[in-house]
Chain A
């Protein structure tokens, strides 16, 4: 094992060694120290577990997890691994269950993940069976601590992780609350398979610098972006961030359609501009807010298009991005239509940001021969703090700061 394959050459995070995306040992250690370490992994939404017995299967990193709601109304999460031979306990993406039974040898578990039954525990006709000394209580799959914030369900394998509010930080909490301020419902789910290491995507989310450069939809159609102001918030620890665009309060009610589309002489014009119509609802002038939580959670408010995204590693060179689109339960039909129409702007087929699906692959392929070299992450200096404007890579450096703490890669080797 090559412990030093990933060499950080600076204490600050202005250089990121390319090996961090490809090294197998690093990937294995991430599973232990990050995803099963002192972090909160996003698991699902509270509303996706509507009643007693509802469950969903998901992942903390690559570790399979079952999330359930028990009769006491509380949410529980446990490793989706039978404590007998290790097979998956629950196979479906979601469902309702009184209890869980492994299909292999019918070991059974209650909704809190306790091992409750062993087939032929006493043997058959007095022969075989488990030794009397075997204690079921000591053989449950690993359980996760669960925390729910604004309907977002997080889980942690760590006893040491701080409370969810402390982990998120005050500013991040407020920014989640401004979006998830009333009951939501799921309006669709899609998964995007990304041809790159998971960290290239979470960097992309924190990268406010690339937006107008890679994504040329607005400039091609000569759309005046209403959002003239913007900024980046990095939480105290560095791992969580918000990037946002906003209009002045006074013009917050104006729609993109009214202000955004001009110029009869522009070369390319949208025929149907309703896709850009903004329905003012939160009324604080913030038109776009992309929020990330270490390691792999994103909350998106893009105009009226609301979504949560869950980034999951799949080996060193692939990852999966799970999109769950949301509406508020009290949406009028007109508002729901606005939300659905704006789905065209983001996601795997999004006018504005489909490029985020391929650009990580371009990096992945570009660095194939560069394991000893570094990426340059120096826009805005070496700061990992909040700033006005978007020409900064502060939130990316913040991610690496927290990443290195978890991975024990602080300091220069």
Chain B
């Protein structure tokens, strides 16, 4: 089974510049010091998987922020702008423009993505103006508004490798205006992709959405197998409307128990399992794969994860700070070193060092060295 991304070149994305990731595998681990770009690479992959979907760009730009905070319209535009490279020289009064450029090889149809961001100032169309005024009635109607144009060009190939050529999509965002994406974009130019951040398991909303999808996909037994690694007394899960809609766990000892009553580890693993079942032959991105999971269950969790990814043709990219997580991933499938690769990031601008599964295992088990 050919993996979706066999290599990825990020010419520019956020602070990343000329980053080459060759020899990608089914399970890809990113390690390195803080601020070395690991999360940015996950974001780059996320947008690369759905390059013509403006909501993917918007969601990616906001993923790092703490959940639950109010976000101002200007902040929303700014977040999008900061996916693009910035320099100190940018004068505050100039209109920013920048570009993101990436290429990839592999089973995925999209071979390159060029996204251009251009800040604009002006007066939006009638429709948009009305929507802005509805949202912000106190605002003076004759002032100009800030906005941005996002132009995305992709090159793609058909399954028979014949080129589809260049496909372009343009979007305009205005401050204070809600953004609606009314077009349906063709599926061949996107991959099912989901990101789990270090804190997404704490959001009720995302848990419910993902649970619903999983149930519809009839994946529950498989998911419950994983969760029972943490607590063998878990019988099942369901959504209940008890003063609001919540996810409940059916527990042998405590009956129907709100998920929020369980520890972080269970919730995190439920999040991973539910998210996985939402992805059809796509990409799963996990930031800090070790979060909340105790060393005693890491091996089992990662074995489950490895198997699930292989079975469903899902390519996994994860960051970690934990040597125990590295070891657990190595041990998850000793027969499958070809399916695991680690990249160590250094200073921004430096290339990442690649450690194939077999070398990674030797570095850890023969030399006891810290690969992070």
Partners in one complex: no
Q: Which B residues contact A (CB, under 8 angstroms)?
A: none
> Could you tell me which A residues sit within 8 Å of B by CB distance?
none
